[in-house]
């Protein structure tokens, strides 16, 4: 079976013009602490295009990680037990054109005997 | 053709002697530690779920299933684990998302060889049921479920997005019944045969 080590979690928030500050504030005040409690480590944050636009969306990108698949399930389970998490994303989505979350692993993945 | 399945829940503090009687009077799969949201037993359609007179039973969550698809790779399966997932797709979910969700579930056995026999069914009754789908599998070992199935990247990296409240494409209600029990025979071979 495939043995997965560190898993990266890539959040891409495509934000309505004029809403960047609001989304940054929501993420900082409403998500970061809970994410850390659920075992997520924030690796990097990006803005693209690399300057705030006033008539087109910008995308905020957050790269997180968890150590392995059991830690991924621990994160997922904690988020599922907390109704505030879904409510948080609904509030963020009200400021966004689109949002995606993707999971990434090293390529090629390692194979191991079980 | 449809078949029936039920999740059976005992009252808190059920009399242990009566529980032993129930377990000998009905063909019930006793849920193993780690099951979530589905009571104490799965009744897989043998005889009757609970013979009359068992007041220690608090709830029999009976569903009627209509098969979407399934495969019996080992008709002689003799154990050891039967797993049942009952779930509710939110009623306002787009039809193309529901179809994609069903396709993704049915692709899991292609990626997770530990799944021996499987069936995906729609819940078509009773009218009061909250469930919409039933996803069942049989495994040769408990590790097949708890390690090979649960830790597969196909599971957490793709399938779970339909269930995850952090994912924009979530369509499955958070309250699921994820239950499994030991068995010495194949429910699905009998059901799909």
Which among B147, B156, B166 has CB closest to A89? B166
A72 neighbors B156 (Cβ within 8 angstroms): yes
Measure Cα distances from A69 to A2, A7, A61, A74, B34 in Å: 11, 7, 22, 9, 17
* Interchain CB contact of A94 with B (< 8 Å): no
pLDDT at A1: 59
User: Which pair of tokens denotes residue B177?
Assistant: 């019944």
Q: Calculate the dihedral angle through the C-alpha atoms of B34, B26, B191, B158, rounding to the nearest 10 degrees.
A: -10
When scoring B149, B165, B167 by the number of chain A Cβ atoms within 10 A, the one with the most, hence best to mutate, is B165
Query: In this predicted model, what pLDDT tens digit does every residue of A2-53 receive, in sequence order?
Result: 567 999 999 999 999 999 999 999 999 999 999 999 999 999 999 999 999 9
Distance between CA atoms of residues B62 and B50, nearest Å? 11
When scoring A2, A70, A110 by the number of chain B Cβ atoms within 10 A, the one with the most, hence best to mutate, is A2
Task: Report H helices in B123-182.
Answer: 142-143, 153-157
Query: In this predicted model, what pLDDT tens digit does every residue of B81-113 receive, in sequence order?
Result: 999 999 999 999 999 999 999 999 999 999 999
Measure Cα distances from A10 to A46, A52, B190 in Å: 11, 21, 44
The DSSP H or E segment spanning A28 is helix A20-30
Range of the domain at B145: 2-192
Query: In this predicted model, what pLDDT tens digit does every residue of B129-143 receive, in sequence order?
Result: 999 999 999 999 999
Residues of B in contact with A2 (CB under 8 A): 152-153
Region for residue A52 given its phi and psi (left: phi exceeds 0; alpha: psi -120 to 50; beta: otherwise): beta
CB contact under 8 A, B157 and A103: yes
Say yes or no to pLDDT of A64 above 90.
Answer: yes
Burial of A105 by CB count in 10 Å (0-12 exposed, 13-18 middle, 19+ buried)? middle
Residue with tokens 């934000």: A15
Say yes or no to pLDDT of A111 above 90.
Answer: no
Cross-strand pairs, B181? B31, B82
CB contact under 8 A, B153 and A70: no
pLDDT at A113: 45
Please, what is the average pLDDT of chain B? 95
Distance between CA atoms of residues B117 and B192, nearest Å? 10
Angle between helices A83-93 and A20-30 (to 10 degrees): 170
Distance between CA atoms of residues B180 and B32, nearest Å? 6
B192 neighbors B74 (Cβ within 8 angstroms): no
B169 neighbors B161 (Cβ within 8 angstroms): yes
CB contact under 8 A, B156 and A109: no
Residues on B contacting A at a C-beta cutoff of 8 Å? 147-148, 150-153, 156-157, 160-161, 164-168, 174
CB contact under 8 A, B153 and A105: yes
When scoring A101, A106, A112 by the number of chain B Cβ atoms within 10 A, the one with the most, hence best to mutate, is A101
B114, closest residue in chain A (CA to CA): A1
CB contact under 8 A, A101 and B156: no
Domain positions in chain A are: 17-49+61-96
pLDDT at B193: 78
Measure Cα distances from A58 to A45, A97, B74, B169 in Å: 13, 10, 53, 21
Nearest to A95 by CA among A10, A3, A26, A1: A26
CB contact under 8 A, A76 and B160: yes
Q: Over range B44-67, report the average pLDDT.
A: 91
Distance between CA atoms of residues A72 and A74, nearest Å? 5
Q: What CATH code is carried by the domain that includes residue B69?
A: 3.30.70.100
CB contact under 8 A, A101 and B166: yes
When scoring A27, A64, A80, A81 by the number of chain B Cβ atoms within 10 A, the one with the most, hence best to mutate, is A80
Region for residue A18 given its phi and psi (left: phi exceeds 0; alpha: psi -120 to 50; beta: otherwise): left
Size of interface A-B (CB pairs under 8 A): 46
């Amino acid at each position: 079976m495939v043995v997965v080590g560190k898993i990266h979690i890539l959040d891409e928030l495509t934000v309505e013009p004029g809403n960047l500050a609001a989304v940054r504030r929501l993420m900082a005040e409403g998500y970061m602490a809970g994410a850390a409690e659920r075992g997520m480590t924030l690796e990097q944050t990006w803005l693209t295009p690399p300057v705030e636009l006033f008539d087109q969306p910008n995308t905020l990108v957050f790269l997180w990680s968890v150590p392995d698949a059991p830690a991924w399930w621990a994160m997922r389970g904690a988020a599922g037990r907390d109704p505030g998490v879904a409510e948080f994303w609904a509030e963020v989505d009200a400021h966004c054109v689109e949002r995606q979350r993707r999971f990434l692993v090293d390529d090629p993945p390692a194979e191991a005997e079980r | 053709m449809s078949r029936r399945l039920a999740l059976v829940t005992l009252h808190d503090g059920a009399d242990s002697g009566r529980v032993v009687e129930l377990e000998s009077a009905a063909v019930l799969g006793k849920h193993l530690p780690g099951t979530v949201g589905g009571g104490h037993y799965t009744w897989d359609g043998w005889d009757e779920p609970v013979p009359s007179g068992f007041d220690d039973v608090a709830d029999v969550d009976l569903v009627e299933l209509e098969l979407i698809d399934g495969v019996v790779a080992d008709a002689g399966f003799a154990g050891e684990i039967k797993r049942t997932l009952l779930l509710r797709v939110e009623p306002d979910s787009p039809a193309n998302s529901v179809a994609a969700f069903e396709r993704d579930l049915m692709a899991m056995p292609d990626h997770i060889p530990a799944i021996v026999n499987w069936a995906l069914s729609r819940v078509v009754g009773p009218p009061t049921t909250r469930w919409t789908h039933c996803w069942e599998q049989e495994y040769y070992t408990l590790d097949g479920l708890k390690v090979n199935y649960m830790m597969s990247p196909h599971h957490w990296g793709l399938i779970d997005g339909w269930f995850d409240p952090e994912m924009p494409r979530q369509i499955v209600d958070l309250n699921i019944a994820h239950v499994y029990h030991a068995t010495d025979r194949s429910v699905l071979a009998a059901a799909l045969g």
